[in-house]
Amino acid sequence: YHPFNVNKAGHLEAGGVDVVELAETYGTPLYVYDVSIIRNNCRDFVRTFRELGVRAQVAYASKAFSTVAMLQVVNQEGMSLDVVSQGELYTALQAGFPVSKIHLHGNNKSLEELTMAIEHGIGCIVVDNFYEIELIERILQEKNKTVNVLMRVTPGIESNTHHYIMTGNEDSKFGFNLSNGQADQAFLRLRNNSSIQFKGLHSHIGSQLFETEGLLLAAELLFQKLDHWHIEYGFVPDVLNLGGGFGIRYTAEDEPLSYPSLVRELTSAVKEQAASIGIPTPEIWIEPGRAIAGNAGLTLYTVGSMKEIPGVRSYISVDGGMTDNLRPALYQAVYEGVLANKVSQPDAGSVAVAGKCCESGDMLIWDLPLPEVKPNDILAVFSTGAYGYSMANNYNRFPKPAVVFAENGTAQQVVKRETYHDLVKNDISYE
């Protein structure tokens, strides 16, 4: 099911490069991205909007995987960018990302973050709460600047991956509540400030979605509010941002949406709703993160120790784990993989893949059919391109792995492996 080829030697390839050779050259654990998959994912969204002839921005949610090289690639593909912190904004600026196409998110943006964003001329701030409005007002006045703003609202939909529950009063730390007057109050305040260009609404209902139902429902609820503001105050939105969360395939059972069809469906729903309340179709913004980076990346590990518990299971241990992929430990996320150096060999049984951390919960995969495993085999785990490197940590003082980009038969390191010196470089000896 995975998008990677196998070469004549029976080795896995990414971007036309033998990943077993990459493991030899750069060491393991190693994140490897097939850049052409990143580009195709971007194009699925950007091109479809273009073909439909609607105004749109596809903002890559950089929390999924933010490095200078990644942001350069998504910029080349005509994407906009969603950042949620000063660190992500800084990375984007270092990558030369056009600041007018960057959108700033966050439920607790600091004065410093907002100031940096406004001073650099950020494309849009997605305002989350009243305290933030106060900070923005203060900065705009002090600096004599203006800024585009979207309002993040919680439409009262709980997405539960496969089904959606309407909740009267959503219990979420994000955004203004649509139904209890908060959104109206914020609207009036934003509209009253001549330094703020209030552009429209934003909602994000959840992640790893496999259906459009919840997104369409959210759009409907946003339009109800827009209808009210249109009638009451003559407000016509420039932008409607429906967030991200489009699912990817982690295992053979996962059935992700086709992104071009998703774009077509969202677009026709937005057009229809706008027409029904008598306003022009707003510019449509979406924010895919995982759908851009997830299936383009894999992680390579070297197999080390093994342990057989007769009648129970066989463990194989690899040289990484919850430090480079926190998702199994944090969300019981399920992954699949292959022995990259034995892809063509038949499976010999199922193993449990353990990480290297001193923690029983550090298990990458519980049940993975593999050919006969030997120490020094290279295990490739698929679909680790989103929220892998970006959530990597230094637990047990493991240095973060390197990242390699491969495309058209050429590989290039784009993040160096951390060194032990990196691990102690901020430590100060206690005198």
Evaluate whether 44 touches 36 at the Cβ level (below 8 Å): no
* Residues whose CB is less than 8 angstroms from the CB of residue 209 and which lie 6 or more positions away in sequence, other chains included: 159, 161, 215, 245, 246, 247, 257
Site string for ligand LLP, 379-418 (x = CB under 6 A): -------xx-------------------------------
- 3-state secondary structure (DSSP) of residue 198: strand
- Smallest separation, CB 402 to ligand LLP (Å): 21
Residue 328 binds ligand LLP, judged by CB under 6 A? no
Minimum gap (Å) between residue 61 Cβ and ligand LLP: 4
Q: Which of 243, 297, 328, 337 binds ligand LLP (CB under 6 A)?
A: 243
Pick the piece of the chain touching ligand LLP (CB under 6 A) from 5-13, 44-52, 237-245, 414-422: 237-245
Of 136-144, 258-266, 282-290, 403-411, which segment contacts ligand LLP by CB under 6 A?
282-290
- Nearest Cα neighbor of 287 from 348, 240, 338 is 240
415 near 43, Cβ under 8 Å? no
- Which residues fall in the annotated binding site for substrate? 290, 327, 331, 359, 387
Alpha carbon distance 369, 350 (integer Å): 4
Whole-angstrom distance, CA of residue 100 vs CA of residue 28: 38
CB nearer ligand LLP, residue 30 or residue 205: 205
Instruction: Find the catalytic residue in 42, 124, 357, 358.
Output: 358
- Is residue 127 near ligand LLP by the rule CB under 6 A? no
User: Pick from 409, 346, 399, 392: which is nearest to 21 by CA?
Assistant: 409
Select the residue interacting with ligand LLP from 198, 246, 301, 389 (CB under 6 A): 246
Is residue 179 a contact point for ligand LLP (CB under 6 A)? Answer: no
Tell whether omega for the bond before 29 is within 30 degrees of 0, i.e. cis. yes
Binding residues for pyridoxal 5'-phosphate: 245, 287-290, 387
> What separation in angstroms does the CA of 311 have from each of 308, 314?
9, 9
Signed CA dihedral, 245, 251, 256, 258: sign only? positive
- CB atoms closer than 10 angstroms to residue 173: 9
297 is an interface residue for ligand LLP by CB under 6 A: no
Q: Give Cα separations from 257 to 44, 238, 260, 265, 291 (angstroms).
A: 12, 27, 9, 11, 10
CB of 128 to ligand LLP, least distance (A): 10
Distance, CA of 220 to CA of 84 (rounded, Å): 26
Stretch that binds ligand LLP, among 36-44, 289-297, 335-343, 412-420 (CB under 6 A): 289-297
**Under rule CB under 6 A, residue 132 binds ligand LLP:** no
Positions at the binding site: 245, 287-290, 327, 331, 359, 387
Closer CB to ligand LLP, 11 or 103, in the complex: 103
Q: Which of 15, 156, 244, 282 binds ligand LLP (CB under 6 A)?
A: 244
Q: Are 337 and 32 in contact (CB under 8 A)?
A: no
Q: Which of 215, 291, 318, 322 binds ligand LLP (CB under 6 A)?
A: 291
Dihedral-angle region of residue 302 (phi above 0 means left; psi in -120 to 50 means alpha; beta otherwise): beta
Q: Alpha-carbon distance 238 to 230, whole Å?
A: 12
**Is 357 a residue of the active site?**
no
Q: How many residues are there in the chain?
A: 431
Of the candidate spans 93-101, 108-116, 183-191, 243-251, the one that interacts with ligand LLP by CB under 6 A turns out to be 243-251
Distance CA 11, CA 7 (A): 5
Per-position x/- string for 95-124, each x denoting binding to ligand LLP as judged by CB under 6 A, each - no binding: ----------x-------------------
CB 344, CB 383: distance < 8 Å: no
Residue with tokens 């139904």: 179
CB atoms within 10 A of CB 333: 18
Residues binding ligand LLP: number (CB under 6 A): 19
Min dist CB 30 to ligand LLP, Å, is 20
**What residues numbered 35-74 form the site for ligand LLP, per CB under 6 A?**
61, 64
Residue closest to ligand LLP (Cβ): 289
Q: Which of 179, 207, 273, 323 binds ligand LLP (CB under 6 A)?
A: 207
Stretch that binds ligand LLP, among 87-95, 242-250, 314-322, 336-344 (CB under 6 A): 242-250
- Provide the annotated active-site residues: 358
Residues that bind ligand LLP in the complex, under the rule CB under 6 A:
61, 64, 82, 105, 204, 207-208, 243-246, 287-291, 327, 386-387
